[in-house]
């Protein structure tokens, strides 16, 4: 099992569907997890249904939801990097790389998890993954931690094949569901509001496996 995991994602809630079970599993085995969340998702269009957030209140609401999600997963160390939602592809690349480089130097992670650049749909996702692999790619090959990437664009399997890391998280569905439900301004998944949702077969099939690509540096 991994000892020190660095997660770099741009939005509160990016962790919940794709990696929360994997993180809970690693944490149960003793891993230390740092989650560097680049923005507060303050330009999201979801405001709850019926709406309970607005453009003014959303950043603080999403920060609280993220903290609740981290607690549900067991993440020990949350870092808010303070960038602005929807702007990462336009950001000063040197600044992004510097911030990620500082985290790598401080934490010396044994695994880094981020989005697969170019195959993660949202421009912020792609820009975040690109910054991570750019920064790690500058290190000596022997100093590079493995990077596991999330990909879910429609074309991703045609371009990069099947994911090589499959994680069975069926034993950690309670933590995963609690992570999803933390983001109540963003999601409403009806099955998760039933009694004992982690025992629902549909939920188990939909959420029970998490999939990653090991990034191959040139």
Partner 1 sequence: MLPIQNVEIQNRIDSLKDQDLYIHLELTTGAYAAHNDSTKHPAANFITNALIRYGIGSISGNGPYRVGLKMEKGWIYAEGLTHYDETDAERLIMAGHDSSGKLVVALQLSREPF
Which residues, at least 6 apart from 60, have a Cβ–Cβ distance to it below 8 Å?
Answer: none
Q: Does 92 bind partner 1 (CB under 8 A)?
A: yes
Total number of residues that touch partner 1 (CB under 8 A): 9
Tell me the C-alpha distance between 171 and 82, whole Å: 34
What is the footprint of partner 1 within residues 117-156 (CB under 8 A)? 123
Tell me the C-alpha distance between 116 and 215, whole Å: 8
Tell me the C-alpha distance between 183 and 185, whole Å: 6
Q: Does 91 bind partner 1 (CB under 8 A)?
A: yes
Closer residue to partner 1 in complex, CB, 52/90: 90
Q: Does 97 bind partner 1 (CB under 8 A)?
A: no
What is the footprint of partner 1 within residues 189-208 (CB under 8 A)? none
Helix (H) or strand (E) holding 165: strand 165-168
- Would you say 15 and 159 are in contact if contact means Cβ atoms under 8 Å apart? no
- Nearest residue to 66 via CA among 24, 15, 129: 15
- Binding part of the chain for partner 1, among 82-90, 101-109, 137-145, 155-163 by CB under 8 A, reads 82-90
Tell me the C-alpha distance between 123 and 90, whole Å: 10
Query: Which of 32, 46, 87, 209: binder of partner 1 (CB under 8 A)?
Result: 87
Residue appearing with tokens 């309970």: 52
Rg (CA), the chain: 17
Q: Does 82 bind partner 1 (CB under 8 A)?
A: no
Closer residue to partner 1 in complex, CB, 84/211: 84
- Binding part of the chain for partner 1, among 70-78, 83-91, 128-136, 166-174 by CB under 8 A, reads 83-91
What is the footprint of partner 1 within residues 12-71 (CB under 8 A)? 43
Closer residue to partner 1 in complex, CB, 89/97: 89
CA atoms 68, 80, 140, 165: torsion sign: positive
- Would you say 178 and 72 are in contact if contact means Cβ atoms under 8 Å apart? yes
Closer residue to partner 1 in complex, CB, 26/122: 122
Q: Does 89 bind partner 1 (CB under 8 A)?
A: yes
Closer residue to partner 1 in complex, CB, 92/202: 92
Residues that bind partner 1 in the complex, under the rule CB under 8 A:
43, 84, 86-87, 89-92, 123
């Amino acid at each position: 099992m991994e000892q020190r995991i660095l997660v770099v994602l741009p939005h509160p809630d990016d962790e919940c569907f794709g990696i929360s079970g994997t993180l809970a599993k690693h944490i149960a085995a003793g891993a230390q997890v740092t989650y560097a969340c680049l923005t507060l998702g303050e330009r999201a269009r979801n405001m709850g249904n019926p709406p309970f957030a607005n453009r003014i209140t959303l950043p603080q609401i999403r920060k609280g939801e993220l903290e609740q999600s981290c607690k549900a997963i067991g993440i020990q160390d949350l870092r808010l990097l303070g960038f602005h939602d929807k702007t990462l592809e336009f950001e000063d690349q040197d600044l992004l790389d510097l911030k990620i480089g500082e985290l790598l130097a401080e934490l010396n992670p044994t695994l880094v998890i981020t989005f697969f650049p170019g195959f993660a749909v949202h421009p912020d996702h792609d820009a975040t993954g690109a910054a991570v692999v750019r920064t790690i790619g500058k290190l000596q090959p022997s100093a590079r931690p493995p990077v596991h990437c999330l990909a879910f664009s429609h074309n991703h399997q045609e371009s990069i094949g099947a994911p090589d890391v499959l994680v069975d998280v069926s034993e950690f569905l309670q933590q995963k569901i609690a992570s999803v439900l933390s983001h109540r301004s963003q999601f409403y998944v009806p099955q998760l509001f039933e009694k004992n949702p982690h025992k629902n077969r549909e939920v188990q099939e939909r959420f029970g496996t998490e999939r990653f690509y090991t990034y191959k540096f040139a």
